Amino acid sequence: MNRTSILFFLVTMFSALTLMAADPPAVSEATEACLMCHETLHPGIVGSWRESRHSRITPASATAVTGLARKVSSSTVPAEQAGVVVGCAECHMLRPDEHADSFEHNDYRIHIVVSPDDCAVCHSVETEQYAGNIMAHAYANLKGNALYQDLERNLLGMPEYENGKLSFKDPDPEIEAQGCLYCHGTKLEVTGTQTRETDFGEMQFPVIAGWPNQGVGRVNLDGSLGSCSACHTRHDFSIATARKPYTCKECHVGPDVPVYKVYSASKHGNIFHSQEKDWDFNAVPWTVGEDFTAPTCAACHVSLLVDPEGEVIAERTHSMNNRIATRIFGLVYSHAHPKIPDTTVIRNKDGLPLPTALDGTPASEFLIGPEEQARRRAEMKTICRSCHGSSWVDGHFARYDQTHDATNAATLEATRILAEIWENGYATGPAAGGSPFDEAIERRWADIWLFYANSIRFTSAMAGGGDYAVFADGFYSHSKGLAEMHQWLKEREPGDQSD
């Protein structure tokens, strides 16, 4: 325990004793009524809430904070919310007329699904930023893209083998909810009302199709998009949890986006896992070198970072993609980030709803240009320089750019082999009216750009996790996939038995 720790201990002790003397902030009458039953019915979530800031601070005192430590971004909070802590009623009774699932419950009008637009009462800036994030549009971007729907059907659809043909029917909605939409978000819909026998007699509740779901692009019953609790896990809505990579892991573990795996095996992940228990994940702003000494996902993409003198290194943003110059995730090549979060409008030069053509040409008019890319890159580099000298940072990004070039060039070779397969009629491609995702060889092609090229690029982005660039779904698998595609083609060519 060093001097700082001792001081911290004494100050905390003193503050705590002071707090013991002060009156705790008020809980609303409505929330008290909720707790009366639900504290026993759902002790887990009430326990989480009791540990949250929401249960201990009123918006009035939160809005009184000035400067970078301020957590509430709305300039004012309505009087009825401001004076009480943020309890059950403060969220589940907000804006009742906007929510299709509002229902009468013991003389209160409650809605089950709290939405970003509810959170916006106090956190308006973050809500607005998030709405501009590609993640908020994850539902429509998947469901409104004919090509992705074809892929989804060929993955999740019910297989049917009849008369020597294998086909996939449209997926069941529950299977979709469990599969792609677990992360992308479901579209919620009130489909009726249900009567349930409870400890307090018969009660009526709305029936909600697509529920439960906490996907990042959930279409809510008030029309808003997303779910804040995807990352700010209910009901403690903890900044600390959202800042830890375990949260991002839920949807970014791989092999299509092996971000958590790569991070965890990188030097950054090494430091994080070794030292996380000694770091302060709650501090706002988040001070590099004091609160933590290696970045988590949030540090580079979301959080408000300052140096020990309080100078801002990176502004807080909930538009997570706005420090990302190049989209690593290949569709089917990596590319400049889309201009707007609704990607259903994108058409490549061949008219397909993809940000690149099969020959690699980007759909540039829908993607950010070099200037915006440079701005984003510069912002990211500022964060890197918190711990690395310029020659380190520049060296890193030169390598990263080269990795994009190399993996995209390799994807082009794989696609040229597939094109020849299609041309020769060994498989049925789009030009002949077939799906590019329903035959075994087409799926092998997909492995190459969807798993291996992505894995290599994410590894490069995070400067490490050596195995993920080579043996663990990296170059080893990448080149093997190419060799197998090549062999498959040669086997089918007349007069050529071997490869």
Q: Between residue 251 and residue 290, which ones bind a copy of itself under the rule CB under 8 A?
A: 251-257, 260, 264-267, 269-271, 273-275, 277, 287-290
**Which member of 70, 71, 95, 244 binds a copy of itself (CB under 8 A)?**
244
In sequence order, the 6+-apart residues with CB closer than 8 A to the CB of 285 are 68, 69, 303, 304, 305, 306, 310, 312
In the complex, least distance from residue 171 CB atom to a copy of itself, rounded to whole angstroms: 8
Cβ–Cβ contacts within 10 Å for residue 261, how many?
A: 23
| By the rule CB under 8 A, 370 interacts with a copy of itself | no
Which among 133-141, 315-323, 340-348, 435-443 is the span making contact with a copy of itself, rule CB under 8 A? 435-443
Radius of gyration of the chain (CA): 26
**Which candidate, 245, 227, 252, places its Cα nearest to that of 237?**
227
Crossing angle, helix 390-423 and helix 454-461, to 10 degrees?
Answer: 170
| By the rule CB under 8 A, 142 interacts with a copy of itself | no
> What type of residue sits at position 198?
T
Cβ proximity to a copy of itself, 350 vs 491, nearer residue: 491
Cβ proximity to a copy of itself, 330 vs 465, nearer residue: 465
CA distance 254 to 116: 27
In the complex, least distance from residue 267 CB atom to a copy of itself, rounded to whole angstroms: 6
Which among 64-72, 202-210, 325-333, 342-350 is the span making contact with a copy of itself, rule CB under 8 A? 202-210
| By the rule CB under 8 A, 233 interacts with a copy of itself | yes
Of residues 475-494, which lie at the interface with a copy of itself (CB under 8 A)? Answer: 475-476, 478-480, 482-484, 486-487, 490, 492-493
CA angle 160-165-166, nearest 5°?
40
**Which member of 416, 423, 431, 432 binds a copy of itself (CB under 8 A)?**
416
DSSP per residue over 273-284, as a string?
Answer: HHHGGGS-SS-S
In sequence order, the 6+-apart residues with CB closer than 8 A to the CB of 231 are 241, 242, 247, 248
Which among 130-138, 321-329, 330-338, 461-469 is the span making contact with a copy of itself, rule CB under 8 A? 461-469
Cβ proximity to a copy of itself, 76 vs 275, nearer residue: 275
**Which member of 82, 339, 396, 434 binds a copy of itself (CB under 8 A)?**
396
**Which member of 214, 224, 227, 334 binds a copy of itself (CB under 8 A)?**
214
| By the rule CB under 8 A, 33 interacts with a copy of itself | no
**Which member of 28, 31, 34, 48 binds a copy of itself (CB under 8 A)?**
48
Structure token pair of residue 312: 């801002």
**Which candidate, 99, 107, 83, places its Cα nearest to that of 25?**
83
In sequence order, the 6+-apart residues with CB closer than 8 A to the CB of 130 are 116, 136, 226, 228, 318, 319
In the complex, least distance from residue 483 CB atom to a copy of itself, rounded to whole angstroms: 4
Cβ proximity to a copy of itself, 78 vs 392, nearer residue: 392
Question: E-strand spans in 210-351?
Answer: 286-287, 305-306, 312-314, 326-327, 335-336
Cβ proximity to a copy of itself, 32 vs 290, nearer residue: 290
Cβ proximity to a copy of itself, 73 vs 270, nearer residue: 270
